[in-house]
Structure 1
C-alpha cells in the first residue's frame, strides 16, 4: 500500500501469509467482493495518511490482521467481528467513513467499530485502569460483547509483539493494563488460555528476573516432574480400572504467574512451592451417580496415599456460589512429595471450563440469576459453531441502574442513574458541594442540576459566596449528598441563630437591660415558639421585630422580678455555715447554681457528674468550697448519714448555657458499624460533644464509656432515647 505507511519486505511477506490463513479460515463467510471493499478502504486511508505506525513502531494494518487471526482461532469470532477488526484501523478517526461502513457492510460491523471508537475515547481521559470501576465502565459501554472480545485479542497480539521494543515506558504501561484489566476480563469470559498468556507476558515484562527464574526452574525440573507424575498416577489408574470406573486423567503445571503469586503470598522461594502441578481425574459418570463415584475415587486414593485434611476442599457437597463443583485433596505421594488431586465428572469439568466459575457478581448489580443466564448464554454462543451473529441478541443491560464518571485525574466513581453534578461535588468533599455553582463536563459548562452520563469527565466549579439551599435536597440523588446538605443547612441555621442572639444581646445591653436566661425562656414560649432556634431564625430573617421582642421581655421581667425577689436569695449573701435540715421549718435557704455566681467557690462532683436539670444538693468541703452532687449520687446516702450538717440544699438557676460533662455506659452486640452509628447520632445532636470513648469487646458483646458534654438534662434524655433505638444496643445509662 502507498502513502505514509510503508511496508517493509518482512511485513509484506507476513501480511500475505496472514491473508492466506485468514482467507482459508473464514471463507465462505467473507465474500470476494467484501475482500475488495476492505482492501479499498484500507488503501484509501493509507493514501490519505490516516494510518501511521503506533508508539512501538508497529504497522497497524499488519497488527489488525494478527488480531483478527487470534480473535478467530482463539475466541471464535467470524464474519462481522473479523471485518470490524480489519476496517477499524482505517476508519477510527473518520466518522463519515464509519457511516459508509454501515452502508457497505451492515449495521453489525458498524456497531462494533463504533463501540471500539467509543472505548478508545475513554482512554484519552487518562483513566485509572487498575480500578474495578473501569472494567465495569468498559462493559457498560460495549453494547456488543464482541467489542470486549476484540479488545482482549488485540491486547494479546500487542503483548506478543513488544518483547524487543525500545519504548520501555509504553511497554510497561500496556503490560500493567494487561495484568489489571484484560487478564481479569478474559478470565471472566472463560478465555483461560488467553488469560494465562496475558498474565505470564505481563510478569515477563514487568518483573523480568522473577519470570525467568521460575521459567528456568521449571525447565530444569520438567523431566523429573513428568517421571514423577507417571509414577504417581500408575497405581491410581490400576485401582480405578479394577473398580470398573470410566475416566481419564491429565496433569497440569501451574502457570509462571500463578507460581510467582503463590511465592509472594507464602513468602517462600521456588522450592517452597509443593503443588507445582495437579492431577485431574475426570469421571464419565451418569448424573445420578456423580457424587457417589467421586467419593469412591476419593476413598481409593486416600487409602493409597496419606491425605492432608487441612487442605481438603469439598465443593461437591456444597458447590461454590458460582456453580463450581469438585473434590480437591492433597496427598503425600512417593518420595514424600505433596500432590494436589482434583476429582470431578465430565459435566463438572465442562461447567468449570466454560467459565461458570468466573461469574460477575459486582455489588449493586440487580439480580444474580439473570446475570448468570446472560453470561452463560454468551459463553455458549462463543463456543457454538454457529455464526457469531447469534450474539446480537445480547445487550449490556447489567448496568442500567448505575453510571460511571471520571474525575479530572482519571479516577472513576460509580453513581446511581439520575445522579447530578451536585451529587458528584458532595462526593468529592462537603466544602466542594456547599460552594458548587456548576461544572465543566467534557469541556462544556453545565449547571449543578445537570444529570450525569457514563463516561463524563467532571470538573466542579465553585464560588466562595455560594451556600446550600433547601431545594438542593430535591436535586441530588444519593443519600450521602442529601445528608451533607441537611447538615450544612443545620450549621447555617445555627450560625444565623448565634448571630441573631448576639444582635439581640447587644441591643439589650445598649438599652441597659439585664439579660436573664429564665426570662428569655419565658419570652420564647410566650411568643409561641417551641424551639429556641426557630425564635432566633425569625430574628435573623427579620420576620420578627426586635423592638417588639425587647418590649415583651421587659414586661415579663417586671412581672417576674417581685416574685423572684421574695423567693430567692442571692448567692453572695448566702451563708452556708449553718446546717440545713430537711425537717427545718419556715423558709428554707437554697443554693442557686448559676454561671454568674460570685464570691462562692463550687464545683461539680466527678462521682456522679450532675447536669443542668438534675435534682442536686451541695456538700461543703473541708477547704470551704462546695461540691454539687446529684440526689441519686451513689455517695449521697453516706454523705447525708455521716456529714448531714455539711449538706446544702441547691437547685439550678436560670437556663443551662454551660457545657456539663457526663458519662454514658453503653452495652451492645459487637456488630460492624454499631459504634459508628452511636457516634454519628451523638455528633449530629446540637450542643452535644463527644469528649472521649473507651470500649472493650468480649464474647460478641461490647461495653464502654462515652464521655460527652451536654447543656442540660432534657437534651441528655432525648439523646439516650435516640441511642436506645439503634439496632444492637442492649443498654445505655448514665454513670
Structure 2
C-alpha cells in the first residue's frame, strides 16, 4: 500500500481534465449544500479512488472513476448530509473491486469512514436476488442502517446513478436491475423521505419495465402542458395577491406527479390518464427567519402554515374530507406539511400543500435534512429513533421459518401509508393504514401484544380485528393467561405483530412435536420396541411423512396414532408400494362394510356419503370441538374410525394436504336431542354479581347445561372459561349474543382448543 499512500499525498496526480473539473464541481456542491466541508479529505478520497480505479472501465466506455464521482455529487447535492458521506461515495467500491484493504482505509481516513465503507462492501450484493438466501443479505443491509445511516444513503446514490446509465447494460440485466429497484430501492428511499430520489428511481424503472406505458404518460403530460400551465397561473394569482398583502415571504410551485405515480393510480383506479384529476399539485413554501433560534423558528413556521391555510381556504372552497395535517402528526420519515384539496376555477379539484422551507427540504431530502436541522437541539436521539424504529422492529423479530417471509415483510413495510392514534394517556403513535388494536398492542410492547384479550377504541369495546382510524384513542386489555390467537395473523398489518404471532405458532408446533416424541417413546417402551432415530426416520418416510418432526407433530396433535406405527414396525418388512396400495384398498373395503352395517336404529348426528352414521366409531376431535352447524370433514383412521374436525381446525391444513385419500365428506343430520360439548372464553370487568349474571343467562336458555365454569381475576379484569352442552352452532351463537348483553362483559369467544 506504499504506492497508494504516496498517491494520497501527491497534489499533481496526472488526471484527465474532465475529472479534475468534475472534482471542482463536486466541491462547489459541497460548499453550497453541506454544513461544513473538509476539502482536503475529499481531495484525498478522490485521488485515491482515481488511482485505485485507474485500469477500470464502465460498460458505457467511460473510465470507472466517473461513477464514484457522480455518486458523490448526488450525495452532496441531492442528499446533503455531511462531507464524510461524500468521501464514502468516492471510495464506496475500492475495497470490493480493487487491491485496497479496509485496514488501509481506516489508517488513512479513520475508523468512521472505514465503518461506512465496510457496510457498503457487505451489502453490495444485497438485492442481487430475491431467492431464499436473500433474507440474510437484507438483514445485513438493515444492520448497517441501524449502525450508520450513511451506508444506505450512499447506496441510494449508487443505485440512482446506475439506473441513469442503465442503457449500457444488456437487456436482461436492465430488467433485473429495474425490477429490484422498483421493488426495494424506491420504497426504501420513500421510507427515508428521499422524495426526489424515490420518484426518479420509480420513473427510470418504469421506463425499462413498461416503456410503452412510460412514453404514453410522458407524451400526454407534455401535450397537456400548455393548457395546464394556463390553469395553474389563473389558480395561483389570487392566492399570491392575498399572501403578498399579508406580508409573507414565500414561493409557489406547481408539481406534476412523477410518471410512475400516475401509472400506478391509473392501474389502481382502472382509468385512462385524462380521467386522473390530481396529476399536479400546488406547493406553497414559506421562508423562515434564519436569525431566530431553532425552536422559535420551528414554532413560528408551524403557526404561519396554519395562517396561510386560512388564506387559501378563504380564496377557494376546501373539501373537508381531503385535509391532512402532517405538521401536528409528522410521518414516520419526518415529513411535515398541510395538505388540502380545494375547488379551483371551473370546479376543478386542486391539491395544495403548505410548508416551510425547512419542512420542504426534509420532504425532499428526508432523513439527511432532518438530521442536519436537529443538530444542536435537545432530544436528537429520541427524534432520530423514529426513522429507525421500524428497522429495529424487523431486526428484533424472531427469525422466520422461511427466509423469503422476511424479505417479503421487509418489502411490504416500506410503502405503508400511516395513521395516527393515541394511547389512553394521550401519547401519539404512528401505525400503518389498516392497523388493528392487536397491531397497536404490539407497538406498545411485545408482552402487551402477547397478552391482549380485548380493546376499547374511544371508550367502547371493539373486535380486535377492527380497523383503526386516525384520531382513535386505543386502550388494550390484557391478561397474563392470554396467548396470541392464530387467527390474528390474518388481519394484523405490522411486521412486528405478524412475526411475533408466527413465532408463537411455530413454538407451539415445536412443543407439540416434543410432546409427540414423548408420547411415541412411552408407546414404544410399552410395546418393547427399541428404534433409533435413524431407523425411525426411514419408517416415517415409508409411511409418507417428510421427516420426524412432522411425524412427532401429528402424534402430539392427536392426528396420527402411534399404535399404527408400532404395528407397522412389528411387521418386520418395509411396505412396498403394492402393499401400501393393498392396505388402502383394504381400508376402503373395511369402510364400505361399515357403511353397509350403518342401518340400525339410534339417534346420531352425522351423515356420511348421504347415509345416517350409526355403528361407525366417531371421535369429535378435542383440537377444535366441532358441533352441528360447523363446516366439518372426516379423517379416517387406519382402524376405520372417523375423527371429525372443523375445516378451520388448527390441524386441518396438515390433514387435508398430506392425507387427502383419508378425508371423508361428512355432514350433519337433523336429529334432535343430540348434545355436544362447546367452550366459551369470557372476558370482562371483575364486578359484583358478574358470575351470577353469567350463570343466569345460561340457565335461562333451554337445553343449555353447564359442564364446568372457571373464573380468574386480576387487576379488575376477569377471564373465564365455561364448558357447555349445546345442540348445534345456532344454539351456541344465540347463547353468545345473549351473554354479550351483560354489562361489563367485554368479549365472548368460542374456544378453538
TM-score by length of 2: 0.50
Name the residue aligned to 1:602: 600
Name the residue aligned to 2:68: 64
The Cα of 1:162 is off from its aligned counterpart by 2.2
Name the residue aligned to 1:267: 270
Name the residue aligned to 2:325: 315
Alpha-carbon distance in 1 for matches of 2:232, 2:515: 72
Q: Give CA-to-partner distance per residue, 1:52-79, whole Å, 9 cap, x none.
A: 4456665422211221222222222554
The reply on whether 1:734 has 2:727 as its aligned counterpart is yes
Provide structure 1 residue ranges, at least 5 long, that are not aligned to the other structure. 2-10, 360-368, 379-393, 416-476, 505-532, 542-594, 611-626, 630-651, 668-674, 695-704
The structure 1 residue matched to 2:153, chosen from 114, 124, 149, is 149
Alpha-carbon distance in 2 for matches of 1:181, 1:37: 29
* Aligned-residue RMSD, C-alpha: 6.0
The structure 2 residue matched to 1:229, chosen from 228, 232, 238, is 232
Name the residue aligned to 1:679: 649
Q: Is the 8 A contact 1:127 1:406 kept in 2?
A: no
The structure 1 residue matched to 2:513, chosen from 460, 472, 488, is 488
SS of residue in 1 equivalent to 2:218: helix
The reply on whether 1:332 has 2:336 as its aligned counterpart is no
SS of residue in 2 equivalent to 1:330: strand
Alpha-carbon distance in 2 for matches of 1:731, 1:251: 67
Name the residue aligned to 1:81: 85
The Cα of 1:303 is off from its aligned counterpart by 6.0
Q: Give CA-to-partner distance per residue, 1:390-439, whole Å, 9 cap, x none.
A: xxxx9x86766347689798974889xxxxxxxxxxxxxxxxxxxxxxxx
The structure 2 residue matched to 1:342, chosen from 337, 353, 356, is 353
Change (3 A) 1:502 1:404: closer
The Cα of 1:293 is off from its aligned counterpart by 7.2
The structure 1 residue matched to 2:180, chosen from 177, 180, 191, is 177
Q: Is the 8 A contact 1:84 1:112 kept in 2?
A: yes
SS of residue in 2 equivalent to 1:312: strand
Alpha-carbon distance in 2 for matches of 1:707, 1:358: 70
Aligned residues, how many?
Answer: 487
The Cα of 1:664 is off from its aligned counterpart by 2.3
The reply on whether 1:20 has 2:57 as its aligned counterpart is no
Change (3 A) 1:609 1:190: closer
Alpha-carbon distance in 1 for matches of 2:72, 2:336: 35
Matches within 5 A, 1:98-137: 98-120=102-124, 122=126, 126-128=129-131, 137=140
Change (3 A) 1:43 1:320: closer
Name the residue aligned to 1:187: 190
The Cα of 1:266 is off from its aligned counterpart by 1.3
Change (3 A) 1:127 1:160: same
The Cα of 1:152 is off from its aligned counterpart by 0.8
Matches within 5 A, 1:371-390: 373-374=383-384
The reply on whether 1:215 has 2:212 as its aligned counterpart is no
Alpha-carbon distance in 2 for matches of 1:167, 1:30: 39
Q: Is the 8 A contact 1:159 1:198 kept in 2?
A: yes
Q: Give CA-to-partner distance per residue, 1:111-135, whole Å, 9 cap, x none.
A: 22211111125456x3459999965
Q: Is the 8 A contact 1:133 1:414 kept in 2?
A: no
TM-score by length of 1: 0.52
Name the residue aligned to 2:254: 251
SS of residue in 1 equivalent to 2:93: helix
The Cα of 1:714 is off from its aligned counterpart by 11
The Cα of 1:723 is off from its aligned counterpart by 11
Task: Say which is worse superposed, 81-90 or 203-212, in terms of deviation.
Answer: 81-90
Q: Give CA-to-partner distance per residue, 1:254-282, whole Å, 9 cap, x none.
A: 11222111111111111111122222345
SS of residue in 1 equivalent to 2:271: coil
Alpha-carbon distance in 1 for matches of 2:401, 2:189: 24
Change (3 A) 1:129 1:67: farther
The Cα of 1:43 is off from its aligned counterpart by 3.4
Change (3 A) 1:133 1:102: closer
Name the residue aligned to 2:396: 401
Provide structure 2 residue ranges, at least 5 long, that are not aligned to the other structure. 4-14, 289-295, 371-378, 411-501, 530-557, 567-592, 631-644, 656-661, 682-705, 712-718, 729-753
Q: Is the 8 A contact 2:309 2:354 kept in 1?
A: yes
The Cα of 1:85 is off from its aligned counterpart by 3.0
Alpha-carbon distance in 2 for matches of 1:498, 1:33: 73
Alpha-carbon distance in 2 for matches of 1:16, 1:254: 37
The Cα of 1:153 is off from its aligned counterpart by 0.9
Q: Is the 8 A contact 2:646 2:652 kept in 1?
A: no
Change (3 A) 1:707 1:31: farther
Alpha-carbon distance in 2 for matches of 1:53, 1:373: 43
Change (3 A) 1:492 1:167: same
Alpha-carbon distance in 2 for matches of 1:335, 1:64: 50
Alpha-carbon distance in 2 for matches of 1:345, 1:486: 56
SS of residue in 2 equivalent to 1:604: coil
Change (3 A) 1:12 1:492: same
Give 1 or 2 for the bigger CA radius of gyration.
1
The structure 1 residue matched to 2:199, chosen from 196, 201, 204, is 196
Q: Is the 8 A contact 1:724 1:732 kept in 2?
A: no
Q: Is the 8 A contact 2:285 2:355 kept in 1?
A: yes
Q: Give CA-to-partner distance per residue, 1:204-238, whole Å, 9 cap, x none.
A: 22221112211122222222212211111223334
